[in-house]
Structure 1
Amino acid sequence: MPATPAIHAQDLGRDFTLTTGPLLRRTRRTITAVHGLDFTVAPGEIVAYLGPNGAGKSTTMKMLTGILTPTRGHLHVLGMQPARRRTALAARIGVVFGQRTTLWWDLPLRDSLTLTRHLYRVPAATHTARLDELTHALDLAGFLHTPVRQLSLGQRMRGDLAAALLHDPDLLVLDEPTIGLDIVSKTAIREFLLNLNARRNTTILLTTHDLSDVERLCRRVILIDHGTLAYDGDLDGLHALAPAPRTLIVDLQAPADPLDLPGTRHLRSQGPRQWLELTGAPAPAIAAAAAHHPIADLTLHEPGIEDVLARLYRGRS
């Protein structure tokens, strides 16, 4: 028997009614934030849910967690309709918003996590074992007794992750979990999430503007734009959807005229450094550069997901 999907959306839509004008001559118009959205997330997947600002990501997240009721279509999360079974669903999901905290600002982190235990009605013995596990995995020991308002952003984010996972949820929804963090904190959180998924098969749905998170964590990307599905597949398919050119960066030993190498188009120069867009295979261009010019260094820049998404957004707009 196939497993119940962690998330199943079919023809999902959400409208908002906007009222404007003076009191006696008000006008109403409908704004569609999400329209005809279809996707399914299997248990244990780590999926990136991406889109430009205003694409409908936050609206979708609020429907997934039961905060908003869909205007039309069907939505099931862990086999439940979120808006109808919001309390039951809350016991099986964890949510982290990078720009908001669920912790109590003036309490030590340990006290905040104790209150969270009572909210989710986690038995004391289970809470103790789970907190010990999370303290080790997230390296919380050094600031468990520090008031939340005194924590650094990276420490607070680790505390929020612990609070979201104390009740051992089946689904973890992350909205910008590494926003504003330094590279060390980002790396620690990414490694933790990968280990969590591997050890406990926790399903993770991630929205982020830090596309390094996507490349490190996710095999699958769901992309929405103007409230509709624009892409659903792996990273290789996303690269193929809007291919971005590779760039050959040539550092000469001295400034020179623009290079004319086979299979390239000169983009710009800055002192002895030149940027060339590759229109063919890189080997002939590199060989010609090395044979005919005094080269100090050569770098081949492969397009990242940022380049692909930028091209895709420009094309759709």
Structure 2
Amino acid sequence: MSLIIEVEGLNKVFRVTRRRPGIVGGLRSLVNPEVREVSAVRDLSLAVERGEMIGLVGPNGAGKSTSIKMMTGILMPTSGTLRVAGFVPLHQRRDLAARIGVVFGQRTQLWWDLPLIDSLRLLQHLYRVPTDRYQDNLQRLRTMLELDEFLDTPVRQLSLGQRMRGDLAAALLHDPELLYLDEPTIGLDVVAKARIREFLLTLNAERGTTILLTTHDMDDVEMLCPRIVIIDHGRKLYDGTVTDIRERFGGDRQLVAVLDPAEMAALNLDEAGLPTVENLPAGVRVMQAEGPRIWLSFTSEAMPAHELVAWLGTRYRLRDVTFQEPEIEDVIRRIYEEGLLLQEEEATLSV
């Protein structure tokens, strides 16, 4: 598979000016302001293959939106190299615009007082989409996004979920091979989020559209993106799978085992009223019990999941076994609050 995004050593520094402390107005504050530099993106490298779905994750101010704006040609990088779909975004913006679609969750490219269908017709002419291709794409998007109920409604009268579906249609009318989504589900209700996610999965599977998604909603990442990139203070901290990040930093996992009721009733109880499982492996502990169900907490380092199931199976008649993984949102929060990835990087450098 060929690369559609190639980023190497990308940096973006903003120069911020303000009046010097203690100076209120006057010529002196105008000719000699305080100037400081703010690094929004620092030494970012990223390679994205065609057809991938990637989640770009980070707290407010991490550099996510700045990175996307450089990849679309809106902002000029301070240094580093960047190619998208074979183009240098800043210098070939018009050529690149025909190959990408962009949706910013808090902004719209639709005309506020016009019916949605009129905005789509105007975008057809702006992108110079041939009529036959426009009609085919519009019909497909009308079906996939269920647009018919509000096509003739002015954009200002649409609900947030309807407007987001309209923005997605606008971004995809010209068949882009790469779609940037910046907080596409922000403020949406559960039903609207589910509809958008289902559409994006279908778009990626059927059309092979590459999708780069920035979001604070970890459900978006878990349901849509096999690969995530975590950045903080402009630096890339992690680039890999959701499964790997959960296993490395997720802490305890839980196994829920359903035992034979008679065996469960025969177990002794400890001081906390929890059943005592004899000779539990190190690192495994009983968390709670309810009826024939027993919850065991463990880490992958203490014992792999399949070994724990086998260990239980040799001692008890298991009726059912399920696993409860750590919530990815909790994992990401731990990484930021405890600086886990930075600690790991420092440990690697010190070796």
TM bin, normalised by shorter chain, reads 0.7 to 0.9
Which of 320, 328, 336 matches 1:313?
336
Kindly report which structure 2 residues correspond to 1:77-156, keeping only aligned pairs within 5 A, or say none.
77-156=84-163
Residue 46 of structure 2 is matched in structure 1 by 39
Deviation, 1:182, is 2.0
Residue 16 of structure 2 is matched in structure 1 by 18
CA distance in structure 2 between the aligned counterparts of 1:220 and 1:249, rounded to whole angstroms:
28
Write the letter of the residue equivalent to 2:43: G
Write the letter of the residue equivalent to 1:160: D
Deviation, 1:79, is 0.8
CA distance in structure 2 between the aligned counterparts of 1:34 and 1:223, rounded to whole angstroms:
13
Residue 224 of structure 2 is matched in structure 1 by 217
Write the letter of the residue equivalent to 2:335: L
Residue deviations 1:5-39, cap 9 Å, x none? 21100000010111222524322221111111111
Which of 154, 161, 185 matches 2:168?
161
Deviation, 1:110, is 0.6
On the 8 A contact 1:247/1:278 being kept in 2, the answer is yes
Residue 295 of structure 1 is matched in structure 2 by none
SS in 2 for 1:6: strand
Gaps of 5+ in 2: 24-28, 258-270, 289-293, 341-351
Deviation, 1:197, is 1.1
Q: What's the TM-score, normalizing by structure 2?
A: 0.77
Deviation, 1:267, is 8.4
Deviation, 1:173, is 0.2
Gaps of 5+ in 1: 251-255, 269-273, 291-297
Residue 294 of structure 1 is matched in structure 2 by none
Residue 55 of structure 1 is matched in structure 2 by 62
On the 8 A contact 1:44/1:204 being kept in 2, the answer is yes
Q: 1:129 to 1:248 in 2, by over 3 A?
A: closer
Residue 5 of structure 2 is matched in structure 1 by 7
Q: 1:266 to 1:87 in 2, by over 3 A?
A: same
Which of 67, 74, 78 matches 2:81?
74
On the 8 A contact 1:244/1:307 being kept in 2, the answer is no
Write the letter of the residue equivalent to 1:225: D
How many residues in Structure 1 have an aligned counterpart in Structure 2? 307
Write the letter of the residue equivalent to 2:228: V
On the 8 A contact 1:258/1:266 being kept in 2, the answer is no
Q: 1:87 to 1:133 in 2, by over 3 A?
A: same
After superposition, the CA RMSD in angstroms is 3.2
CA distance in structure 1 between the aligned counterparts of 2:184 and 2:63, rounded to whole angstroms:
18
CA distance in structure 1 between the aligned counterparts of 2:166 and 2:159, rounded to whole angstroms:
10
CA distance in structure 2 between the aligned counterparts of 1:85 and 1:239, rounded to whole angstroms:
39
On the 8 A contact 1:116/1:163 being kept in 2, the answer is yes
Residue 345 of structure 2 is matched in structure 1 by none
Runs (4+) off by over 3 Å: 247-250, 256-268, 274-287, 298-301
CA distance in structure 2 between the aligned counterparts of 1:307 and 1:276, rounded to whole angstroms:
19
On the 8 A contact 1:170/1:202 being kept in 2, the answer is yes
Write the letter of the residue equivalent to 2:93: R
Q: Does 1:243 align with 2:250?
A: yes
CA distance in structure 1 between the aligned counterparts of 2:186 and 2:296, rounded to whole angstroms:
33
On the 8 A contact 1:12/1:73 being kept in 2, the answer is yes
Residue 266 of structure 2 is matched in structure 1 by none
Which of 177, 181, 204 matches 2:184?
177
Residue deviations 1:71-104, cap 9 Å, x none? 0010011111111111211111100111111111
CA distance in structure 2 between the aligned counterparts of 1:284 and 1:216, rounded to whole angstroms:
30
Q: 1:92 to 1:300 in 2, by over 3 A?
A: closer
Q: What's the TM-score, normalizing by structure 1?
A: 0.85
Residue deviations 1:123-159, cap 9 Å, x none? 2222111111110111111111111111111111111
Deviation, 1:161, is 0.3
Residue 264 of structure 2 is matched in structure 1 by none
Deviation, 1:242, is 1.4
Larger radius of gyration: 2
Deviation, 1:301, is 3.7
Identity within the alignment, %? 53
Deviation, 1:106, is 1.3
